[in-house]
Structure formats: structure tokens, C-alpha cells
């Protein structure tokens, strides 16, 4: 095991006060004012903070997308998972998306014992294989090409009957783009069905934020709606919406007829029926199920519902004994799911690991929607800190996702107030906070709400940074990716934009400055910078620091 003790810097031993890392989730840089909720908002304090940091040469801009955060290509938007991984790891790590892509495209996935076991189970029981997952090319939780690869793998393995339960996106892709992805999926299914031995069909679905993909145990009703539709063949029923349809296209179009502005992410659940008006994809004993999302946070709850014999979070109208697999291990602490195909990336020697080795007290806080990011993903995909006695966490309970558009302040002020209380106690040297507003409100596509979100974060940063000055500490203000700075035509997805990196140091006497010689700095450079500011050399595996010291 590697020695994690750090070497002190020769000429800088940090400040007497604490170091605070503020992550403004989903707030990127966009020079244009068009559809830019950040520029439209009153963010006077942030503007002055950036200007002052520039004057002191304590400001730079960071890449937060694509290969800079371990994604397969540079046309892919960053996200909170990979962003916090990069910040916490201090380097670029291969992400779940890349591991999944390689395993499917190379055919490696279909050669492992687990796949062969699943195929044998289906053959021996003459049962159906069900796929559940997010149908889009957003590459945040899944990618439609992965599903296509799995369908081809199932066909090659001579699995004759497949049902696909689709979760519609509208969040990491345009808000009303679902029909495009359904059309692409049907093309793949129709090709397979040209051989009459095969019967591959869409069976059920719904919008991801309303059906199945809850996270952090925020609203189990979301998961229940998914269970009812995917497993039991029971959809939501409301006025002018029976929930039963002959095609996914009909379901989507009917929901939009009822509410022309509805985003795909909030579409009600639906169930596809045959000519006898019977659900075509209701699950039965001995069926097999694959949840094909690679990302874990929104896969854990539905996996628990399938895996746990004593499950009690909601009452199930049906409970068939199925053979359930996840694409990856979604939670290593709870071992969810019990069966999975691919191992997630393990990130060793994180920033937290080094700080723990140096016995540096740490504190982190976020509301529920981003708590897993400030902890699990920052820790290198781990639920447990290396030093729980020194590294403490507080979660502020979030409102349900469907209320965010109407409560854009979210729990930011509660998070800020609790952090001020902790700062005043003086027990921690390194603290970090995530403000979720920019991302979560940006995902709603509501421009006016996004303006309020930006102003809320501005106000929270102001109070925290000013208090840090009084404490003789240093504040770093950055973000994990962009979102609300580009809301063109109700754009709800992340962006490819850079994010700010600004240092606020009231005791600054030109001891250090931004290293402008770094080529394309990114989020992975932040950890080494934090160690430098605390008075330590960076370890060898970390990317270079964003600052350089006077000689």
C-alpha cells in the first residue's frame, strides 16, 4: 500500500484559517447573453469576485467535459458524477461510460460467465429478457448505442423474446426529443424481427424524473410508478390518458396533446398492449431483467426493488421472481445489485485519502440532490471516507424534483446557514459545499427560475466568502459543469462550456499566482491546487496544480 504522507512546500505553509471549496453545480461560462440565465441574473458579488481574482492573477477557466473528465470523446457534456470524480481524484479517470462502451463494442460483455449464465437461464425456462433504461444519447446515465449493442448481443445469443421498457430523457438531451429515440429503437427492433423467430418490442415507459429513476431516496413514488408499468403492466391513468397504448409514439403524443409544454422527463407512465388489449411486457416468474444504465445513483432504488425479498418502501401489486442484472455494480457498500456485468472504476489515492493521512479535519455539505456527488463521487466512488472520525458530512433534505421549478432557491440558504455555523465552530481545515441550484433548476428549462437560482447561489457565495475573509481563510469558487448559462429554446441539458476557477485570499501577498503555462487545465487540476494552498506538494499521480509559487 502506498505511503500517502505528503511533503510540505518549502516556502508556503498555507493560511491560519480554513480552506473552503465552493462548487456551483451547473454554472458554466458563456460569453453570450442570449438565453444565458447567469448573465440575466443579478450576480453582482460573483462578478466582482471574478474581476478581483483576475486582477490578482488568481483566476482561470477550466475544461469540464469530454476527455478532460474521462468521457470517451470531447463532444460529450460533463456531468456531476464525472466532475466530482475528477475534482476528488486529482486526475482523469476512466469513467463508467467508457468501460461500458468498450465492453459492448468489443464483444467482451457477451463472453463473460455472467452473460452465459443469463442466456442459459432464459433458454432453460423459455422466458423473456427485459431491458430497462434511459433511452437517449445523453451519455450521462446511458447511451442508446449501448442498448442497441445489447439487443444485437441478445439476438446473437438466440434469445428469442425481448421486451424493452424505455425511460424518456428530456434532461440530458432536448426536452421534447423522445420520438427521435423511439424511432431509432424501433428501427433496430424491426431489423431483428425480420427473422420471425424473434419477437423484440417496446413494452412500457415514462419520463425519467417521474418514472423509475429517483435517486438518494428522494421520492419512492417515482420508483413505484416504474414498477407498476414495467413489471406489473399497470400504467398511470388520468383524464384523457388511459395509460394503455398500441405504441410508445401514441403514448408520447397523447401526453403532449394533454400538455403541449411537458418535458419528456416528466411524461406519465404507459404500457403497450396487443390487439387483445393485454400488456405485451408484463413480467413473469423466471423472466430475466437487465437495467442497462451504467451510472449508479438513479439505478440503486429500482435495483433494490428487484433484489430485496423483504422490500418495504412501497406495496407491490405484483412481485414476480425474476433474474435481475444491473449493467454495473451501482453501490459497493450495499452491494446493489446482487448480479451485475461490469465492475465500476475504482479510484485510489484521492484527495480525501491524502488529507486523511495528514490528519486534516474535513467537512462537506450539500442538499440531497447533490449529496452523493459531494461524498460518493468525490471520494472516488466510495460511500465511506478513509477517516470517518476526521471527515464529516451533512445532508440537507431536498424538496421533491417536481417542485424545483417552482422553488428555485431549493435548500441553498439552509445549506449556507449550516455551513456558516460549522465555520464558526472552527473545527475543520478543509471544507467543501455543493450548491445544486444551477444544475437542478437549469434542467427544468424555466429561464426565470434559473435566474433566481443564479441569484440564490450568488447570495450564498457572498456570505460564505466574506465570512472566510474574516476567518483568515481562502475560498475557491468553481463548478463541475455548465447548464443554466445556455437555455436556448428551453434547453435543459448540460453544456460543453468551461467553468470558473477563482481564489479569494484576503491575506494574499503575491506568494503565488495562476500557472498560465498549463495546457488546457481542467477539473482534475483542482486537487493538487488545494494541496498547494494547504501547504503541501502534490503527489505524483495528481495532475499539475493550477498555481505556481514565487521562487
Going edge to edge, which strands form the sheet with 362-367?
A: 59-62, 499-505, 474-478, 19-24, 430-435, 362-367, 391-396
d(CA 545, CA 534): 12
32 in catalytic set: no
Compute CA 151 distance to the chain's CA centroid, rounded to the nearest angstrom: 25
Catalytic residue from among 32, 80, 136, 145: 80
Compute CA 443 distance to the chain's CA centroid, rounded to the nearest angstrom: 12
Residue 137: helix, strand or coil by DSSP? coil
**Can you read off the three cell numbers belonging to residue 241?**
390518458
**DSSP single-letter state for residue 230:** I
User: Is there a contact between 231 and 320 (Cβ–Cβ < 8 Å)?
Assistant: yes
Q: Which of 399, 336, 389, 398 is nearest to 363 (CA)?
A: 389
Beta strands 474-478 and 499-505, pairing class = antiparallel
Torsion over CA: 418, 424, 426, 431 (sign): positive
User: Is there a contact between 122 and 163 (Cβ–Cβ < 8 Å)?
Assistant: no
d(CA 446, CA 19): 34
- Strand extents, DSSP E, 343-390: 362-367
SS3 letters across 43-84: CHHHHHHHHHHHHCCCEEEEECCHHHHCCCCCCCCCCHHHHH
d(CA 200, CA 128): 10
Q: Where in the sequence numbering do the catalytic residues fall?
A: 80
Amino acid at each position: 500500500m502506498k505511503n500517502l504522507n505528503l511533503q510540505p512546500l518549502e516556502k508556503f505553509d498555507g493560511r491560519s484559517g480554513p480552506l473552503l471549496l465552493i462548487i456551483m453545480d451547473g454554472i458554466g461560462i458563456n460569453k453570450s447573453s442570449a438565453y444565458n440565465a447567469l448573465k440575466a441574473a443579478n450576480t453582482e458579488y460573483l462578478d466582482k469576485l471574478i474581476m478581483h481574482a483576475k486582477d490578482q492573477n488568481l483566476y482561470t477557466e477550466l475544461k469540464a467535459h469530454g476527455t478532460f473528465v474521462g468521457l470517451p470523446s470531447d463532444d460529450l457534456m460533463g456531468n456531476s458524477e464525472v466532475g466530482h470524480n475528477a475534482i476528488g481524484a486529482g486526475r482523469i479517470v476512466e469513467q463508467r461510460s467508457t468501460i461500458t462502451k468498450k465492453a459492448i463494442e468489443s464483444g467482451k460483455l457477451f463472453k463473460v460467465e455472467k452473460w452465459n449464465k443469463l442466456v442459459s437461464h432464459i433458454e432453460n425456462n423459455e422466458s423473456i429478457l427485459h431491458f430497462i433504461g434511459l433511452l437517449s444519447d445523453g451519455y450521462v446515465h446511458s447511451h442508446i448505442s449501448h442498448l442497441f449493442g445489447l439487443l444485437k448481443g441478445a439476438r446473437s445469443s438466440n434469445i428469442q423474446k425481448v421486451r424493452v421498457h424505455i425511460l424518456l430523457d428530456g434532461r440530458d438531451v432536448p426536452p421534447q426529443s423522445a420520438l427521435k429515440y423511439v424511432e431509432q429503437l424501433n428501427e433496430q427492433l424491426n431489423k431483428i424481427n425480420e427473422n420471425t423467430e424473434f419477437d423484440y418490442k417496446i413494452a412500457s415507459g415514462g419520463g425519467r424524473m417521474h418514472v423509475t429513476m429517483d435517486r438518494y431516496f428522494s421520492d419512492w413514488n417515482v420508483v413505484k410508478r416504474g414498477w407498476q408499468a414495467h413489471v406489473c403492466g399497470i400504467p398511470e391513468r388520468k383524464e384523457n390518458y388511459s395509460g394503455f397504448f398500441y405504441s410508445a409514439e401514441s403514448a408520447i403524443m397523447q401526453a403532449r396533446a394533454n400538455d403541449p409544454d411537458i418535458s419528456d422527463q416528466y411524461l406519465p407512465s404507459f404500457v403497450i398492449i396487443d390487439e387483445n388489449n393485454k400488456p405485451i411486457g408484463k413480467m413473469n416468474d423466471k423472466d430475466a431483467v437487465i437495467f442497462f444504465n451504467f451510472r449508479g445513483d438513479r439505478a440503486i432504488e429500482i435495483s433494490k426493488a428487484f433484489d430485496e425479498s423483504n422490500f418495504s418502501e412501497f406495496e407491490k401489486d405484483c412481485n414476480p421472481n425474476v433474474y435481475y442484472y444491473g449493467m454495473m455494480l451501482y453501490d459497493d457498500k450495499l452491494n446493489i445489485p446482487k448480479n451485475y456485468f461490469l465492475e465500476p472504476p475504482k479510484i485510489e489515492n484521492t484527495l480525501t485519502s491524502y488529507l486523511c493521512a495528514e490528519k486534516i479535519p474535513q467537512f462537506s455539505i450539500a442538499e440531497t440532490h447533490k449529496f452523493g456527488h459531494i461524498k460518493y463521487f468525490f471520494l472516488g466512488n466510495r460511500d465511506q471516507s478513509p477517516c470517518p472520525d476526521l471527515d464529516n458530512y451533512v445532508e440537507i433534505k431536498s424538496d421533491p424534483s417536481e417542485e424545483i421549478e417552482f422553488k428555485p432557491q431549493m435548500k441553498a440558504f439552509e445549506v449556507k446557514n449550516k455551513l456558516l455555523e460549522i465555520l464558526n465552530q472552527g473545527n475543520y481545515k478543509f471544507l467543501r459545499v455543493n450548491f445544486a441550484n444551477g444544475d437542478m433548476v437549469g434542467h427544468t428549462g424555466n429561464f426565470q427560475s434559473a435566474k433566481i437560482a443564479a441569484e440564490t447561489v450568488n447570495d450564498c457565495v457572498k456570505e460564505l466568502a466574506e465570512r472566510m475573509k474574516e476567518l483568515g481563510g481562502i475560498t475557491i469558487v468553481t463548478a463541475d459543469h455548465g447548464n443554466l448559462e445556455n437555455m436556448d429554446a428551453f434547453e435543459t441539458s448540460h453544456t460543453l462550456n468551461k467553468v470558473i476557477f477563482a481564489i479569494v485570499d484576503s491575506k494574499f501577498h503575491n506568494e503565488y499566482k495562476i500557472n498560465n503555462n498549463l495546457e488546457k487545465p481542467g477539473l482534475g487540476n483542482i486537487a493538487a491546487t488545494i494541496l498547494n494552498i494547504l501547504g503541501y506538494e502534490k503527489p505524483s499521480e495528481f495532475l499539475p496544480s493550477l498555481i505556481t509559487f514565487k521562487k
